[in-house]
Amino acid sequence: MELQIRNISKTYANGVHALKAVTLTIPPGMYGLLGPNGAGKSTLMRTLATLQEPDAGSIRLGSLDVLTQKDEVRRTLGYLPQEFGVYPKVSAESLLDHFAVLKGITERRSRKEVVEALLRQTNLWDVRRQKLGGYSGGMRQRFGVAVALLGNPKLMIVDEPTAGLDPAERVRFLNLLSELGENSVVILSTHIVEDVTELCTRMAIINRGEILVEAEPLRAVEALKGKIWRRVIDRSALADMEREHAVISTKLLAGRTVVNVHADSLPGAGFEPVEPDLEDVYFVHLRAGTPSTRVTDQSLRAGRDVRS
Ligand code: ADP
């Protein structure tokens, strides 16, 4: 079953053009939607999850029309939003059982089996009787996955799941996601390049409501081979460097500034070739896809410096 998104556009009442004729074809498996904050990811995810209407365009999930057959879509949809409230005084086991009833699993014995299987799959079995209010961020996210997996969804939407998780929780969470997605469409929306590197067989990069590229991560990285160059400079030399070269990102390393430049051949003295990675792919496309390079460079630098 494929998800076909065709020319989806959305302008909010305040005039923000959040999606501009977005077209994507998403096969079964883990699909990464990568873009900076404000790119339009959540708008697209909420639209796919039938929670808001686009102004134009169409979406099909297999034979279902997502925009008109909302009830049918909801029956086969798992949605893990960026933030979700839990009832702090209830245990994971009782709340999951409650959601299972809402999902239509009314027969007691089969519901017990489903709830147990999901709590084990998400590694929450040992803490199933604890109140959700005492759960860590990572445990809450895994509980969200258990809820989203109720009823074996054909379409699973996971919006910015690892923001705010500590490194160990993040690994545990990504491992859990990697087990999904063999038969269903799983869309992972994120601004964290590593999430996509580690999990996704296909991806798209979105910025300012536009899809900049749709690709297989490994191929996209391959296509940059021999085109990424690095140089260590003083911070004061950065402005000149940006004037003369296609600087895609800068990073601080032990007080010096490490600059990555995109060029078909050696850009000049002092540069060394580096193996490209998905982060280079991301920054090359973001840079190319934005009319105001100056603004982009600044925002990219901010993004990269924060992460480094
Ligand atoms: P992302 O998930 O990639 O951070 P969003 O889809 O949340 O992006 O936002 C895309 C753009 O739309 C941003 O400029 C954001 O401020 C704006 N936006 C999002 N939701 C609303 C809303 N309900 N009303 C007005 N503007 C919104």
Is 242 domain-assigned? yes
Residues 6+ apart with CB under 8 A from 130: 91, 92
Domain's final residue, options 215, 239, 257: 215
Any ligand 1 atom below 6 A from CB of 45? no
Q: How many A from CA of 193 to the centre of ligand 1? A: 20
Residue from 153, 183, 186, 176 nearest 26 by CA = 186
Residue closest via CA to ligand 1's atom 12 equals: 18
Q: Specify whether 137 is located in the same domain as 38.
A: yes
Domain's final residue, options 215, 241, 259: 215
Judge whether residue 298 has pLDDT over 90.
Answer: no
Scanning the structure block, which residue is given the tokens 């982009």? 296
The pLDDT of 27-48, averaged and rounded, is 95
For all residues of the chain together, what is the average pLDDT? 89
| Residue 108 belongs to domain with CATH number | 3.40.50.300
Spell out a b/e string for 134-148, using b for 16 or more CB atoms within 10 Å of the CB, else e.
Answer: ebeebbbbbbbbbbb
Q: Specify whether 107 is located in the same domain as 199.
A: yes
| pLDDT (tens digit per residue) in 77-130 | 999 887 777 788 999 999 999 999 988 899 999 999 999 999 998 889 999 999
Q: Specify whether 20 is located in the same domain as 93.
A: yes
Q: Which domain holds residue 248?
A: 222-302
Any ligand 1 atom below 6 A from CB of 138? no
Q: Specify whether 110 is located in the same domain as 168.
A: yes
Q: Specify whether 48 is located in the same domain as 186.
A: yes
Is 308 domain-assigned? no
Label the pairing between strands 56-61 and 3-11: antiparallel
pLDDT band at 303 (very low <50, low <70, confident <90, very high): very low
Any ligand 1 atom below 6 A from CB of 40? yes
Judge whether residue 304 has pLDDT over 50.
Answer: no
Q: Specify whether 70 is located in the same domain as 120.
A: yes
Domain's final residue, options 215, 245, 280: 215
Q: Specify whether 174 is located in the same domain as 37.
A: yes
Any ligand 1 atom below 6 A from CB of 16? yes
pLDDT band at 167 (very low <50, low <70, confident <90, very high): confident
| pLDDT (tens digit per residue) in 210-244 | 999 999 999 999 999 999 999 999 989 999 999 99
| pLDDT (tens digit per residue) in 244-268 | 999 999 999 888 999 999 999 999 9
* Structural domain total, the chain: 2
Look at residue 171 in the predicted model and tell me its pLDDT: 84
* Residues 296 and 250 sit within 8 Å (Cβ to Cβ): no
